[in-house]
Amino acid sequence: MLPYFAEEFGNAASRTHAYGWRAEEAVERARGQVASLVGADPREVVFTSGATEANNLALLGSARALRRARGEKTLRIVSCGSEHRAVLDPLAALEREGFRPALLPVDGAGRLDPDSLRAALVEPALLVSVMHANNEIGAVQPIAALAQLAHEAGAAFHCDAAQSAGALALDANALGADFLSLSAHKLYGPKGIGALIVRRRAPHARLEPILHGGGHERGLRSGTLPVALCVGFGRAAELARDRRDEDAARHARLRDRLWARLAEELPELALNGPPPGPERLPGNLNVSFLGAEGEALLAALPELALSTGSACTSAKREPSHVLRALGAGELRALSALRFGIGRGNTDAEIERAADLVVAATRKLRALSPVWDELRRA
């Protein structure tokens, strides 16, 4: 990335001189690298500022385009209650425009039953949006089956794949989504850059821009591209593709070791999300430490980088909407911690983390009247 911050400072949209040509070449190389990560055509990659913008472009842009194409008769959009706020908030915005979002329930592990979607699509819908893997609980959804149901019902299908890209094998053709959202920083790339994959031959992939001013990215996303960030995204995607299987196996092993230590040494734990295995992201662990508040545990564990939910909503002190969507009560939701295990973590760090969490939980439980009640029960 470094040369493109100063030495190669051309604008990729400048077609009249060599500086712009070199910048464009770098961006197109990155576009190909991102496309290769998910089995897409480079011409299907629309660079954005991140997955939040990609989700907004997919939802707002497709809903408005489909309404324009089909008229006002069908304004329904189907999703589920455990989605990221970058999907739920645009759906709320669309509701203010007259669209009718329908949020389907998930099961106790956070998965959407295809039969639930099939039943929901008896009533016509313009669009279905389901994330591939949940950012808080790691639940992996059966996207190919869900996309097929949406298409059979005449609806477009959007998938937020920010969490799964680089962690799971993704093939855009096999998934069948019309729109696929990605974010560079989720696979060790720079922050502030992402992409929306817009399938070129998908009959339902209608889209109109939500940003105007120059017609960049084939008219779908205006704005001067940050060449250095595009380059970083491309290289991160290439590394993630090459290391994916090795990383996934290692992250799953470390995650399973951490869960084993916690479960062995602490009673009254609740695993949130699917059990470890193919239906859960390899590096994700979400645990409720009943009798100890999650916020108190965070304060007691300054050596560890943990969260009680999504980083995008960490400023809000309230139970995770994802855990509530699973049917978790307030006690369980407020005592949850999310662990993210990544490329830089070591076996020694896992053991150290387990030691710290066990000690902090025992200390907080000893002071908690809630824990006394749980023990008596």
**Residues labelled as active-site residues:** 312
Place of tokens 């960049």: 216
Q: How far is CA 207 from CA 64, 144, 197, 235, 243, in A?
A: 8, 21, 11, 28, 33
Q: Would you put residue 327 in left (φ > 0), alpha (ψ -120 to 50) or beta?
A: left
Pairing type for strands 127-129 and 284-289 reads: unpaired
Q: Report the distance separating Cα 203 and Cα 89, nearest Å.
A: 26
Cα radius of gyration rounded to whole Å, the chain: 22
Q: What's CA 61's distance to the chain center, in Å?
A: 19
Concatenated DSSP letters for 92-161?
HHHHHTT-EEEEEP--TTSPPPHHHHHHHTTS--SEEE--SB-TTT-BBP-HHHHHHHHHHTT-EEEEE-
> Shortest CA distance to 309 belongs to which of 300, 328, 291, 3?
328
